[in-house]
Amino acid sequence: MNLRSLTSWVAPRERHPLRPQVEELCERALPNGTPVAVLALDVARDVTELRSDLQAVQRSLATNTNATVTADVSALGTNLAKVVIDVMTGAPTTADLAALSAAQATLTTDLGSNISSSLSRQLREFSHDVTELGRDLTRLGNGLGDELTGVQNAVQTLTTALGSNTNATVTADLAAINTSLSAVSADLAAGRSATNDLNALLRAETHLTSDLHHASSTVRHALNDLRHETRDLAGDVNLAAEFVNRSISAAQRQVQLLARSLGSNTNATVTADLAALRTAVTTVANDVAAGNVATTDLTTATTALTKLVTDLGTTASNAVKAQLNLLEINLTALGIELAALQV
């Protein structure tokens, strides 16, 4: 699967997506290796497949009246929901992934060997996708944290190399680099946009390069390493911001489609649910556009979606169900992408 297909899997390119201030970085080279944004989409795809697996198992066991099996299926859904919350919020997943695997194993054991070939296949697929999710989460690893550490180490190496340089301009340039780097670290720790501070860091590095007229080869090498590490981090942040914007645009589009599809629904509760969902998604979009933390408002949006699904119940048409499913996919992907941007 290439990068174009990955970016279109969750949200196709919009004509005018929301754009936080990423213009200064947009022409810079992408980072080496697989970008964090792409790894985050792999995780989002795994979550979608697991949800589909669970629905297939639930349909196959819909007529099973065994209380133990019923409890097992419920536990499977509960544990999957916990894993989804983990990956959307950036929380540790090890314990909940282990619990999910254990729940699947318990269900398989309690069902015994006298099950249909289709159900057996569904359980194997579920187990495979849990393993795949764990593998992709390992690949995602510390996300931008490793790249930030690379920049911090490069600054320290440069500082050591410049140790005997007493030029006031160079000293001021190095101080500006450290100030900007501290701001980037704070941005990523808080889960807000680091783009402006990364731009400031790149500018500070450029100023230092210009002001170092007679630098040693050691200093030049250290400065080149720093610029390389910073460009890698900046490119990854910029690409992730683009993916986030596409997911937001797709979510807003799905809300609009839902509003049209449910236009004839006169149920006051459903009408209120849809209004709350629209407001919540708009608030998330505004958070991201302003470079603010969106975690709490995204939780509000997913809660509003869950309530709408519950209140619609069996009255939802197949078209509405499909739109609700796509919206869930995009909100989940958005949460995972935002979590990947936080260190």
pLDDT of residue 205: 96
- Exposed / middle / buried, residue 69 (Cβ in 10 Å: 0-12, 13-18, 19+): middle
Residue 271 inside a domain? The answer is no
Answer yes or no: do 155 and 71 share one domain. Answer: no
Provide the domain count of the chain.
2
Last residue of a domain, one of 237, 272, 302: 237
Residue 247 inside a domain? The answer is no
Residue 292 inside a domain? The answer is no
pTM given for the model = 0.80
Answer yes or no: do 160 and 219 share one domain. Answer: yes
pLDDT of residue 146: 87
pLDDT of residue 19: 33
Residue 182 inside a domain? The answer is yes
Q: Which helix (H) or strand (E) holds 304?
A: helix 295-312
| Residue 341: band (very low, low, confident or very high) from pLDDT cuts 50, 70, 90 | confident
Answer yes or no: do 98 and 148 share one domain. Answer: no
Answer yes or no: do 104 and 192 share one domain. Answer: no
Residue 38 neighbours by CB distance under 10 Å: 21
Domain that holds residue 226: 144-237
Residue 230 inside a domain? The answer is yes
- Token pair, residue 238, equals 């910029």
Residue 208 inside a domain? The answer is yes
Do the beta carbons of residue 129 and residue 50 sit within 8 Å?
yes
Answer yes or no: do 110 and 160 share one domain. Answer: no
Answer yes or no: do 87 and 102 share one domain. Answer: yes
Residue 25 inside a domain? The answer is no
pLDDT of residue 144: 87
Statement: residue 233 has pLDDT above 90? yes
> Which among 33, 52, 39 has a CA at the least distance from the CA of 1?
39
Do the beta carbons of residue 228 and residue 150 sit within 8 Å?
no
Q: How far apart are CA 43 and CA 262, in angstroms?
A: 31
Last residue of a domain, one of 237, 258, 273: 237
Answer yes or no: do 131 and 64 share one domain. Answer: yes
Q: How far apart are CA 336 and CA 181, in angstroms?
A: 25
Q: How far apart are CA 72 and CA 107, in angstroms?
A: 5
| Residue 2: band (very low, low, confident or very high) from pLDDT cuts 50, 70, 90 | very low
Q: How far apart are CA 278 and CA 301, in angstroms?
A: 8
Question: 229 or 340, which is more confident?
Answer: 229
Statement: residue 117 has pLDDT above 50? yes
Any residues with CB less than 8 A from the CB of 306 and at least 6 apart, and which? none
C-alpha dist (Å) from residue 164 to 4, 155, 213, 215, 284: 49, 16, 15, 11, 49
pLDDT tens track for 157-205: 999 999 877 789 999 999 999 999 999 999 998 888 899 999 999 999 9
Query: Across all residues in the chain, what is the average pLDDT?
Result: 88
Q: How far apart are CA 177 and CA 208, in angstroms?
A: 9
pLDDT tens track for 3-37: 333 333 444 333 333 333 333 333 344 445 688 88
Cα of first residue to Cα of last residue in the chain, in angstroms, is 27
